[in-house]
Each structure stands twice: as structure tokens, then as C-alpha cells.
Chain A
Amino acid sequence: MREYKIVVLGSGGVGKSALTVQFVQGIFVEKYDPTIEDSYRKQVEVDGQQCMLEILDTAGTEQFTAMRDLYMKNGQGFVLVYSITAQSTFNDLQDLREQILRVKDTDNVPMVLVGNKCDLEDERVVGKDQGSTLAHQFGCTFLETSAKAKINVNDIFYDLVQQINKISPATKQKKPKSGSKCTLL
């Protein structure tokens, strides 16, 4: 079974752990305890294939910035989370993405931009268009989610797995169906 190393990044308190735990265990964790680092494993089926996701839920607070390089080096796909109720968490992602690209030394890194807490529409500060604009700029998928209301949570990880598959197909490389034909020059 193929393993997928997924890293969840974002500022403190945006709901990285809530999203991860909701996805892995189907529970919404109400209480806020700043995470240091937690790793989870979960087997899922994506596009008819069994995948083992190894999800690293990271710390959002500044003290742990030194660890980020390592996370980025080891991760294959990244979930960049912000909270739609706090502009600063949205602004922080630009630097984070740049760091990922720097560490990975490529522009094409599987990534999903996630605006969490979309159930708190009343407290919204970051518009949906802002999110999609940034995602467009990043060239990645954009989802507004709610770990509490179970909105789009699974989609994050499925999409990421698909992105990883696309960028580095499994060892058995399938020939594209519409195979290129010989051309006379």
C-alpha cells in the first residue's frame, strides 16, 4: 500500500488539529490545546486505491518555526490552514508557502489551501474570494471547511492524495489512454 506523508501547517488556533482529528477519528475536539506535534495514520480509499495517510499535525505557534524546515523536507503534500475569522492567519500563509517551495526547491508541490471555521459565518473576516484569489496565485486547490460541522474535511485529504498521485504516479506508470501517436516530420 502506498504511503502518503501529509503535513498540516498554519498559524496557531486555526483548527489544524480539529481538522485532522475530525478526519482521522470523526470527532470534533472542542477544547483548544496548542499542539506540539501529533502524527496520525489512516487508511483510506481514493480512486479505488487503498492509501495509507500519515498525517503530521504541527504546532502553529512561533516557537516551533525552527522545525518547519524539517516538516517540509519530509512531507509530500501540505495542507495550509487559516481561519476565516482571523486575517493574520491568512496573511501568514504566503511566507509559509514560500518556505515550502524553497525547501522543496520546486514550484510544483501538492498543496491545499484551507479556510477553516466556515461555520462561523458571523465572525468572518477573510472573504471567500480572498481565499480563492490566493489559491489561484498559489496554483492550488482551495476549500472552505468546518471541522465542527464536518464540511469539506475529507475532501482536503482526498484532493491532496490525488495531487500527489498526479505529480508522482505510483511505481507502475500507466500509459496515458490517449497515447501519443507517431508523427511524421
Chain B
Amino acid sequence: MSGAKFELQKEVFEGSKERLHGVVGVTKTSRKKKPSFLCLTGSIERPIRFTIYLVKQTEKGFKRKQEWTLSSLKEANYKAKDSLDFDLLLEKSYHWTATSTEDKDVLFSLIYQITARMHRPPKFINYQPDEEGDSEGASNIPIVAVPKDGQMVDSDEEEFGLTEREEFDLEKVLGRAENAVVNAEAFMEQLAKELSILDGENIHSIMDSETQVNVLMERIDESIVQLEKIESELTDYEDSVVVVQAAVEKIEEENSQMGTASKNQQLLLKELSTLIEALDFSAGSNILNSDLSSKEGIEKAARDANLLKKALDMDEEIHPALQKMHSVVHQRSRLEKIRDKFAKGLTSHLAKLFIHHGNISSVDNVSSINHFRLSPLNLMHNELIVYSDLMIWLKSVEMDCYSSLLQKYTMSTQKVYERNVKALFEEARVRISGNNTPSSRISGSSTDLRIRGKFFGKTRSLANREGDTESQGSGEGSVDSSERQHFYDVLEQLLEGLEPGVNSEEKFITSFFNVDGSSSLNTSSVISPSKSSGSAELRRIMGNLFGSIESELVAFLVHYEKMESSFCMGAMVRLGNHALKSENTSTYIGMIYGSVLVQEKRSFDRLMNSYVQAINDSRLPRKTKPGILPFITEFEDFAVMAESIFGNSARRSDLEKWYVKMLCAMFDAIMRLASDGGKTPGEVIRMENYHRLHANLSQLKVAALDVQKKDAKTKYNEALNGYVTKYFGRPLNKLNEFFEGVQAKVSQGVKESEIGYQMAFSRAELKRVIKEYPAKEVKKGLESLYKKVEKHLSEDESLLQVVWRAMQEEFIVQYKSIESLISRCYPGAKITLEFTIEDILLFFSEIAQSH
């Protein structure tokens, strides 16, 4: 049967994870049919479930036909020991016939053993389990504990088939009874005997073990009791542990809360300490009592004031909520009170100082006048500058106090400066009117005025178009220029004298009133708008202090320029030097000078324009000989003066522009006047004036006027040639006419050699004409020409010799041309003029010398 059992296990029950414990081939008792297998299995998985299967063997293999759980077995009828039949009462009664009794026994013993521990074991009928004691299958069944609910709790590893040991035992049994084959009966008996003995022993041991089992049971009960006790104890422990856990959790929570609280407290403490530190102003009321008269006191006060400001500036750092704290508000108002009080104290202290110094300085100004300069108020500056830190503080904290201080300062110092500036200009006036030359000091002013008057009159004449009315002695020039130089020197000293005072005041104001917008403190609180607005503020203050300078300077210049308009030239140069020097680029004084300079430039332009106008409007002098036109000589004087003033100054270009304009005007005027020269020929006017102009320009050596110089030269030459050709005329008039006729014939096509055959131009005719011009006549003619030229030309330019020489050359040219014509037209006639070139030269030099 073991083969079938193995196959069944493999094919049917391995899939359903069941283990086949026993199998018995059966047929239904009622019908004769193919045998089936009745199998008893237990599930491999726990709890073990025992199942009875009816398995059919078909050609394809085994097939489960019916199944029942073992617990559903209610009754098992063994029937008779010899019989193969047996009944199982499951849901109904089944009647099977086993294939062998062994199988049947095995099955029954299996069922019996398994069901024995069940809660409700089936009822066994006609079955004696003891009889099955030596059954093989029984040993295969492990000892199993079947709990009340009928499910197996435990199962050991089971084996199918015979183990090695069993085989060994079996062999041993069989080996021991070698004769069993021979004497089976005896062997049987022996085996039966042994079996019964074993059974007996078995029963005994079972009987013996019962007590032990009982003991064991007792122990188990005991241990169960113990276990229960332990369990209850454990439950107790658990309960208490739960309580502890809750407690621990609670503690933990509290702990973290405490941590938060302490952290918060620390933060609060920190916040408070920074708050207190920020708002703390330990100097307290000390600052109010600080000694503002000593340097240390001021420094200390400045330090305290900055601390105070810092404390008050904490707004950004203090949380807005904290600012609502009563004590913060209180402290703030306390600090503010201190601040206001201190600011007021400081303001009044400084205001007193301003007034004090204002008074001192105004008394002190005599020395500054002696040095002829606007002396800086160094004393006051030095004393005040130590307060500059406090001023910065004040500006950033109490703008009102600051501006009122600024106003007070401006008022008190402005007076001083105004007075000083006025005195300075007064001194300048005194110096100009000759204070510096002690000899002329007493009687000076009237003579000075006289000299100046002449000079002024002269230069003004140019501007006032009065031309020739004034006498123009050249000797006065030196006096004029020294006078002029003196004015410029005083002006220069004045300009120089103003600079240091104004500049040092500007520096002082910049640092003391902190107006450049670049202070160290107010970086955060006051956003300095822009550099330009800072300097605009500075300019405004400076304007308040020194507003008088510009007006005084302008008045001063206007005053002197009224007397002498050309003073604006020098003033422009000097002012230009001062205004345009690099260190004055952005100073207030530089700006004042700049503004005045523009006005001087305008005066200059006006003056120059009036010169040009004067030239344009100039008329010929009412003299027989106009000679050199007045504006030409005036220009010479002007140029000399202008050169001495401008020299190589930066403003030279302004002058040169006007030079060019004036020269253009002069050229035009010469041309214009020459054309209506009355008795005097225009050529003479042009010749003389261009000559003079050219000479003058050559002397001036102004590169910018080279074009005009060349122009004058060519114009002069043109005029000279024009004059000579026009007025030298034809001392040999008839000869000239004769030869003009000759030339006309020649141009008509008559050959030169055939001229002599013409009636009008015969040799005899020529001889007749020549005879009219003997040497004596020629000389006479030349003499009268000389007189005429002499009458035309003015003494101014002494061009007579030049003109005479030019005429001599012209005469020689004419002579030569006549001579060559004679030699060509009347060759071989041996006709010559009655005088030679040597005669001509002699006549000219004789005439020139005789006059």
C-alpha cells in the first residue's frame, strides 16, 4: 500500500498542502465497483485539520471524489475482526469494504488515535484499540495535542514509509527468526507472545505513566495558576507603566514649555538689555552742565551729544511694539528733553559767541586795511571750529536751532565783512588817487585828476568819435601807462586781498555748518539730496555774507571805467586771471569774479564795438592834407596799450578777435575816405595810411594779424603804383602821344621799320617833337611835379622820397621804352632824346636835395 500512498501524497495532496496519514483501498459494500482509496490527511499548515477523502483512480490519475472533515465522523463500525467491511457515519452512513484487514486496522487505529484527543471523539463500535497495539501505522502518528475545538496544535516532522531504524528493527526481528520461514507458525506464536508481553509492558508503562501524567497535569495546573498570577501581575505592571508613561509625557511637555519660556525670557532679556543699552544715556544731565568754554568740555559734550543722538536714533532698531512701552516712551521723552535743553543751551552759548566775536572783529579791522586785504576772521574761526562736531549734531537733531544759529552767525559776521569789504574798497580808491606816492599826497589829487583827465579824454575820443579834436602828444603816453599800471596794480591787490578772507570763511562755513552734505554722522538719518543742492546752500550762505563784494566790485569798476573806459581791458585780464585759475573753480570768490568778469567782458565788447563804430563813422579831417587818418594813430596807441595789458594773458584771444574786426573796419574806412578825399588824391590817402598801418602791424608782431599785415602791404603798393602812374603822368607828353600814335599804327599792321614813311610819324616830325623836350625843360617839369607831390603828401609819413624814387623809376621806364621804340622804328636815323638817363638821375637827385 505504501506505493499507492506515495503516489497519492504526491499527486493529490501536495497541491492542497495536506499530508496523507493513512490510506485504505475500499469498495462500496453495496455495489461491486472499482476500488477507491479512502484517505486520511492532515493539513500541513497549522492548525492541522484532518480530512477524510474518497479518491478514485481513473486512467488519468487520482481524483478526489468526496471529502469529510474528521470531526464530522460520528461513528465508526469496525464490524468483525475478520470482515473487511466497515461503516463510517459521516453526514450519512457509508459502508465500505477494505481491500485487506491490515488496511482496515491501520485506518481504524489511526482514526482512533487522532480522534482520541478530540473534544467529541466518534463512537467506535466493535473496535478494540488495544488489539491494534503493534500496528505499524500507529508509530507513524506523532503524539498530537488536540485542543478542545478539535484542531491539532502541534505536529512533528512526519515520515512516510519506513525509517531506517524501522527497517533495521524489522530486519532484526526477521533475522532473529530465521527459521520463521521454516516455521512460520512457531514464529507467529513467538511474535504473538512477544507482542502480548510488549502489550502488557505497554499497559504497565501506561499505567505507570498515568500517575506521572497526573503529576504533570497537576504541575500544569499549578503552572497555569502561576501563569495567571504572573499575568495579573504583569497587567498590574502594565497599568502602572501606562500611568508612568502618561506622567513622563506630561513631564516632557512641561519640560519643553519650560525651555521655550526660558528661551523667551532670554530673548526678552536680550531685547531689553539692548533696548536699555540703546536708550541708556548715562551722561544724563551731565551734558546740560557741560563746560562749553573749555576745549575738553566741548569735546566731551560733543561725545555725549552723539551718544544722546544715537540713543534717540534707535527707532529703527527698536521693535515698534517696544516703543509703546511706557518706560521707553518715558525714557525717550526724558532724552528728548535733555536734547532740547542741551540744544538750546548750545545755541544760546554759540549765539553769544557770535555776537562777541562780531564785536571784536569789527574793532579789529584796522590792521586788515593796513595790509590791504580782507583778513580772515581767524580768531573767531579758531575758537568756533571746535564746536563743529556739536554743530553737526545740532544740524541733524535740531534743524530749527541750527538754522537760527546760522542766521545769527550770518547776521553778526555779515556786518563785519560788509564793513571790512567797504573799507577795503575805500582804501583801494584812496590808493588809486595817489596815496602811495607820499610826495604827491598833499597836492596830488588835483594834478592826478588833470593828468588823468587828458589821458582819459584821449582814449575816450576814440570811443566818442571826436577824432582829431584832442592834441595827441606822444610824451604823455608814459604818464598814462604808469597811471594805468597803478590802477591795475591796485585792482590786482584788491582781488588778491579779497581771496584769502572769503576762501577761509567758505572753508569754515563748510566744516562748521556742515553744508557740503558730507558729514560723518547724518549718513542714515538725512539723505543728502545731491552735491549741487549742498553747494547751493553754501552759495546762499556765502551770498548772505559777501553779497557786498560783487556790488562793491562792480561799483568800483564802473566808477573808474566811467573816467577811463579802457580800464575794463585790464580789469578783464586781471579778473580773468583770478576767476579762471584752477583753485577758484568752485569757490564762491571764483564765482563772484566770474560774474564780474562777464560784466567786464561785456564792457570790453562794448568798448571795442564803439571803437569799430568810431572807425566806421570816421570822417576826413578838415585839413588840406588829411595825412594819416586819426583812427590809424589811435589804433597804434590802442594796440600798444592793449599789448601791455593783455600780453600773453589767457584773454588775449578776446582782444585778437577785436583786432581783426577793427582792422577790417579800418580797411573799409580807408577805402571809403580815400574815395572822397577832396583835394587830396585818394591814392595818397590810401598809400600813406596803408603804409603806416603796415609798419605798425609789423611792429606789433601779432601772429593773428599776419593776413591783415600782408593785406596792408599789397594795398599800399597798389596805392603807390596808382599814384605814381596817375600823377607822374607824362612829363614828355608830346613824345608820349607821338609814340602812342606809332604804336597804334603798328597794331594796325604797319611794320615798325616802315613807320618813318608815314606822314605823321616821319623822322622830321620826330625830331621836332624831341626838340620840344630839351634837358632844361625836362628838369623844369620835374621840379613842378615834385612840388605837386610835396603838396599832396603829408608830413606824417614822409613818403616823399619813396614816391620820388618811384617816379624816377617810372620816368626811366618811360625813357627806355621811348628809346627802344626809336631804335626799332627809326633804325639808323641816329635820333636820340636830348637828355640821357644820367641826366634824369641827376635831375631827380638835384631836385630832391634842393628841397
Q: Mark B62-73, 1 if CB is under 8 A from A, else 0.
A: 000000000000
Assess whether B585 is in contact with A62, with CB atoms less than 8 Å apart.
yes
Task: List B653-668 residues whose CB lies under 8 Å from chain A.
Answer: 653-654, 657
Q: Mark B509-527, 1 if CB is under 8 A from A, else 0.
A: 0000000000000000000
Assess whether A36 is in contact with B654, with CB atoms less than 8 Å apart.
yes
CB contacts (< 8 Å) of A63 on chain B: these are: 579-580, 584-585, 590-591, 593-594, 597
* B613 within 8 Å of A (CB atoms): no
Give A33 to B593 CA distance when docked, in angstroms.
18
Give A33 to B576 CA distance when docked, in angstroms.
12
Instruction: Give residues in A with beta carbon < 8 Å to B.
Output: 31, 33-34, 36-39, 59, 61-67, 95
Interface of B is mostly: helix
* B595 within 8 Å of A (CB atoms): yes
Nearest A residue (CB) for B582 = A61
Give A67 to B579 CA distance when docked, in angstroms.
14
CB contacts (< 8 Å) of A39 on chain B: these are: 605
Closest CB in chain A relative to B629 CB, distance in Å: 27
Give A33 to B585 CA distance when docked, in angstroms.
16
Known: A37-B602, A61-B580. A67 touches B594 (CB 8 A): yes
Assess whether B591 is in contact with A66, with CB atoms less than 8 Å apart.
yes
Nearest A residue (CB) for B584 = A63
Nearest B residue (CB) for A95 = B532
Assess whether B532 is in contact with A36, with CB atoms less than 8 Å apart.
no
Known: A33-B653, A36-B576. A64 touches B602 (CB 8 A): no
CB contacts (< 8 Å) of A62 on chain B: these are: 585-586, 590-591
* B598 within 8 Å of A (CB atoms): yes
Nearest A residue (CB) for B580 = A34
Nearest A residue (CB) for B539 = A66
Closest CB in chain B relative to A31 CB, distance in Å: 7
Assess whether A59 is in contact with B598, with CB atoms less than 8 Å apart.
yes
- 15 A-B pairs besides A33-B650, A36-B651, A63-B585 with CB distance below 8 A are A31-B653, A33-B654, A36-B601, A37-B598, A38-B605, A38-B654, A39-B605, A59-B594, A62-B585, A62-B586, A63-B593, A65-B591, A65-B594, A67-B598, A95-B532
Number of interface residues of B (CB under 8 A): 25
CB contacts (< 8 Å) of B597 on chain A: these are: 36, 63-64
Closest CB in chain B relative to A8 CB, distance in Å: 15
CB contacts (< 8 Å) of B580 on chain A: these are: 34, 61, 63
Give A61 to B579 CA distance when docked, in angstroms.
10
Known: A63-B579, A63-B590, A63-B591. A36 touches B598 (CB 8 A): yes
CB contacts (< 8 Å) of A67 on chain B: these are: 594-595, 598
Interface of A is mostly: mixed
Give A136 to B594 CA distance when docked, in angstroms.
33
Nearest A residue (CB) for B579 = A63
CB contacts (< 8 Å) of B585 on chain A: these are: 61-63
Give A37 to B572 CA distance when docked, in angstroms.
12
Nearest A residue (CB) for B581 = A63
Give A119 to B572 CA distance when docked, in angstroms.
34
CB contacts (< 8 Å) of B592 on chain A: these are: 66
CB contacts (< 8 Å) of A61 on chain B: these are: 580, 585, 594
Sample of 24 A–B contacts (CB below 8 Å): A33-B650, A33-B653, A33-B654, A34-B580, A36-B572, A36-B576, A36-B598, A36-B601, A37-B598, A37-B601, A38-B605, A38-B657, A61-B585, A61-B594, A62-B590, A62-B591, A63-B579, A63-B584, A63-B597, A64-B594, A64-B598, A66-B591, A67-B594, A95-B532
Instruction: Give residues in B with beta carbon < 8 Å to A.
Output: 532, 572, 576, 579-580, 584-586, 590-595, 597-598, 601-602, 605, 650-654, 657
Give A37 to B650 CA distance when docked, in angstroms.
14
CB contacts (< 8 Å) of B591 on chain A: these are: 62-66
Nearest B residue (CB) for A99 = B532
Assess whether B595 is in contact with A66, with CB atoms less than 8 Å apart.
yes
Give A61 to B652 CA distance when docked, in angstroms.
18
CB contacts (< 8 Å) of A36 on chain B: these are: 572, 576, 597-598, 601, 651, 654
CB contacts (< 8 Å) of B651 on chain A: these are: 36
CB contacts (< 8 Å) of B532 on chain A: these are: 95
Closest CB in chain A relative to B833 CB, distance in Å: 56
CB contacts (< 8 Å) of B650 on chain A: these are: 33-34
Give A67 to B602 CA distance when docked, in angstroms.
13
CB contacts (< 8 Å) of B595 on chain A: these are: 64, 66-67
Closest CB in chain B relative to A41 CB, distance in Å: 11
Closest CB in chain B relative to A9 CB, distance in Å: 14
CB contacts (< 8 Å) of A59 on chain B: these are: 594, 598
CB contacts (< 8 Å) of A38 on chain B: these are: 605, 654, 657
Closest CB in chain A relative to B158 CB, distance in Å: 100
CB contacts (< 8 Å) of A37 on chain B: these are: 598, 601-602
Give A39 to B598 CA distance when docked, in angstroms.
12
Give A137 to B261 CA distance when docked, in angstroms.
60
Nearest A residue (CB) for B601 = A36
Nearest B residue (CB) for A65 = B591
Give A62 to B598 CA distance when docked, in angstroms.
13
Closest CB in chain A relative to B434 CB, distance in Å: 32
Closest CB in chain A relative to B174 CB, distance in Å: 121
CB contacts (< 8 Å) of B598 on chain A: these are: 36-37, 59, 64, 67
Give A38 to B653 CA distance when docked, in angstroms.
12
Nearest A residue (CB) for B602 = A37
Give A61 to B572 CA distance when docked, in angstroms.
16
Give A117 to B807 CA distance when docked, in angstroms.
57
Closest CB in chain B relative to A102 CB, distance in Å: 12
Give A31 to B650 CA distance when docked, in angstroms.
12
Give A33 to B655 CA distance when docked, in angstroms.
12
Give A31 to B594 CA distance when docked, in angstroms.
22
Give A112 to B120 CA distance when docked, in angstroms.
123
Give A38 to B584 CA distance when docked, in angstroms.
22
Closest CB in chain B relative to A18 CB, distance in Å: 13
CB contacts (< 8 Å) of A65 on chain B: these are: 591, 594
Closest CB in chain A relative to B423 CB, distance in Å: 25
Give A33 to B601 CA distance when docked, in angstroms.
14
Closest 6 CB pairs of A and B: A63-B594, A33-B653, A36-B601, A64-B594, A63-B590, A66-B595
Give A67 to B586 CA distance when docked, in angstroms.
14
Give A33 to B11 CA distance when docked, in angstroms.
124
Give A38 to B601 CA distance when docked, in angstroms.
8
CB contacts (< 8 Å) of B576 on chain A: these are: 36
- Identify the interface centre among B576, B602, B653: most chain A CB within 10 Å of its CB: B653
Nearest A residue (CB) for B578 = A63
Nearest A residue (CB) for B600 = A36
Give A154 to B592 CA distance when docked, in angstroms.
35
Nearest A residue (CB) for B590 = A63
CB contacts (< 8 Å) of B601 on chain A: these are: 36-37
CB contacts (< 8 Å) of A64 on chain B: these are: 591, 594-595, 597-598
- Identify the interface centre among A33, A62, A63, A67: most chain B CB within 10 Å of its CB: A63
CB contacts (< 8 Å) of B594 on chain A: these are: 59, 61, 63-67
Closest CB in chain B relative to A100 CB, distance in Å: 15
Give A36 to B591 CA distance when docked, in angstroms.
12
- Identify the interface centre among A36, A38, A61, A66: most chain B CB within 10 Å of its CB: A36
Give A38 to B595 CA distance when docked, in angstroms.
14
Give A39 to B654 CA distance when docked, in angstroms.
12
CB contacts (< 8 Å) of B586 on chain A: these are: 62
Closest CB in chain A relative to B530 CB, distance in Å: 9
Give A39 to B602 CA distance when docked, in angstroms.
9
Closest CB in chain A relative to B723 CB, distance in Å: 34
Give A61 to B597 CA distance when docked, in angstroms.
13
CB contacts (< 8 Å) of B593 on chain A: these are: 63
Nearest B residue (CB) for A21 = B657
Give A36 to B654 CA distance when docked, in angstroms.
9
CB contacts (< 8 Å) of A66 on chain B: these are: 591-592, 594-595
Give A62 to B576 CA distance when docked, in angstroms.
13
Give A172 to B572 CA distance when docked, in angstroms.
43
Give A63 to B591 CA distance when docked, in angstroms.
4
Give A34 to B591 CA distance when docked, in angstroms.
15
Closest CB in chain B relative to A160 CB, distance in Å: 23
Nearest B residue (CB) for A64 = B594
